[in-house]
Structures are given as C-alpha cells and as structure tokens.
C-alpha cells in the first residue's frame, strides 16, 4: 500500500477502502486496517467523515516545507562528505553517474529513479554522520514522490545528471563550499519544477 501511494499508483484524493484492498491482496481486513492507520500517522493517508480514508492531497506548503528541510540537511551532508570522504570512495559515485547516463540515453526512466536515489544516498553516506543520514531518510518517501515528478521530464533528468557530475568533481577537489552550493541549487531547481508541474496539473491544494 505504501509503495503504491509513494509511486503514485494510487493518486492523491483516491479513496482507500479496507474491504477492496483486503480482497485484492487476499488478506483479512485487520492487517489492512493496521496499515491504513500507520500510513495516516505518516501523513500519506488522511481521514474524512464523509469519504473515510483517502490518499492525502499534496499542498503547496507540503512541497515547500519538504524541499526547505531537504535543502538544509542534504547540502550540509554534502559539505561533510567533501571533507570526510576517502579518495577510493568516489569511484562508486562515478559509476552511478555513468549508469544513469546510459539509462537516460535509452529512455529508461524507471531505472533513473533508483540510480538517482542511490547516488544521493551514497553521497550523503560519506558525511559519516549517522544522525544526519537518519534525518534525511525520514523524508525518503516524500522525496521519492517528488523525484518521480522531476525525472519524468527529459530536460530535468538531463540537468539532474549534469549536477551530479559537478558534485562529483567538487568532491574530488574537496571543495566543501562548492558542493554545498551545488546541492542547494540542485534541490531548489527541483522544488521550482515540482511546484510548476503540480500547479499545472491542478494537483496542489493551497494550504498554510
């Protein structure tokens, strides 16, 4: 259920009915009910007196808040990674950049999502800050939803890997200021695109 929501298989606003889900999965309603309440706590589902449970709508404030937090956490993680990484730890990042390019060239968008996520996780892992990494991972599901929107456009997918190449080069130079700035700009570009795209599709609800 969670993956279906995060990946967009169940769209925002769609009703989530215990009996229907239980039948489709071949399980009783009890584990479905438990899963629904857990997803409600995580903010992925919401409850309405008239509609029951439904996939929570994205609001402009949700996007701005999530990207704001990401920008602070991830740019700082990249800064620490530039300082703390060992030289031989950059090769896997370079491999991800090249693999991403291969998938981009052949139009394999689904593969881009996984490779992009792996690149960022590997980069921030080099920060050697477990608490910081956990804070970033706590936003993982929301990040995935937004990343799917961004990488679904060819020009944005291309820009994303160009930014990754630049991050990698700055890491090689141990330019902490530079990589922090590039990651921050990278995320802000993503935020601006997501806001425009969701507004265009009428999927963003205004909210404080």
The class (CATH top level) of 2-56 is: mainly alpha
Selected residue with higher pLDDT from 145 and 186: 186
Domain ranges of the chain: 2-56, 59-205
For range 184-204, the mean pLDDT: 87
What topology is assigned to 59-205 in CATH?
Answer: 1.20.120
Strand partners for 204: 58
Q: Does pLDDT of 206 surpass 70?
A: no
Torsion of Cα atoms, 141 then 145 then 148 then 153, to 10°: -150
Residue 161's pLDDT is: 98
When mean pLDDT is compared across 43-52, 67-76, 135-144, 199-208, the lowest value belongs to 199-208
Give pairs for 197-200: CB < 8 Å, separation 24+.
Answer: 197/149, 197/153, 198/58, 198/63, 198/149, 199/60
Give the per-residue pLDDT at 118.
97
**Contacting residues for 58 by C-beta, under 8 A, at least 6 apart:** 12, 145, 198, 203, 204, 205
Would you state the pLDDT for residue 199? 83
% of the chain residues with pLDDT over 90: 63
What separation in angstroms does the CA of 8 have from each of 87, 117, 121, 122, 206?
A: 38, 17, 22, 25, 20
- Whole-prediction pTM: 0.84
Of residues 87 and 165, which shows the higher confidence score?
A: 165
pLDDT band at residue 202 under the 50/70/90 scheme: low
Contact 151, 113 (CB under 8 A): yes
CA–CA separation, 208 and 161 (whole Å)? 33
Q: Is the pLDDT of residue 63 over 80?
A: yes
Average of per-residue pLDDT values in the chain? 91
Rounded CA separation 16/52 (Å)? 8
CA torsion, ordered 169, 135, 37, 35, to nearest 10 deg = 50
**What is the rounded CA–CA span in Å between residue 12 and residue 172?**
41
Q: What are the tens digits of pLDDT across the range 83-138?
A: 999 999 999 999 999 999 999 999 999 899 999 999 999 999 999 999 999 999 99
Whether 208 shows a pLDDT value over 50: the answer reads: no
């Amino acid at each position: 259920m969670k993956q279906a929501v995060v990946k967009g298989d169940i769209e925002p606003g769609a009703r989530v009915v215990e009996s229907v889900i239980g039948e489709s999965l071949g399980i009783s309603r009890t584990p479905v009910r438990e899963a629904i309440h857990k997803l409600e706590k995580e903010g992925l589902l919401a409850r309405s007196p008239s509609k029951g449970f439904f996939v929570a709508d994205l609001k402009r404030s949700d996007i701005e808040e999530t990207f704001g937090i990401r920008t602070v956490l991830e740019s700082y993680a990249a800064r620490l990674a530039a300082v703390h990484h060992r030289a031989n730890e950059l090769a896997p990042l370079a491999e991800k950049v090249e693999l991403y390019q291969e998938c981009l060239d052949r139009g394999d968008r689904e593969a881009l999502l996984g490779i992009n996520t792996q690149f960022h996780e590997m980069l921030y892992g080099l920060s050697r800050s477990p608490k910081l990494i956990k804070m970033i991972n706590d936003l993982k599901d929301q990040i995935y939803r937004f990343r799917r929107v961004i990488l679904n456009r060819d020009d944005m997918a291309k820009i994303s890997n160009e930014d990754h190449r630049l991050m990698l080069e700055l890491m090689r130079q141990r330019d902490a200021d530079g990589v922090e700035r590039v990651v921050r700009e990278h995320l802000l570009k993503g935020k601006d695109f997501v806001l425009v795209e969701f507004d265009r599709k009428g999927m963003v609800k205004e909210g404080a």
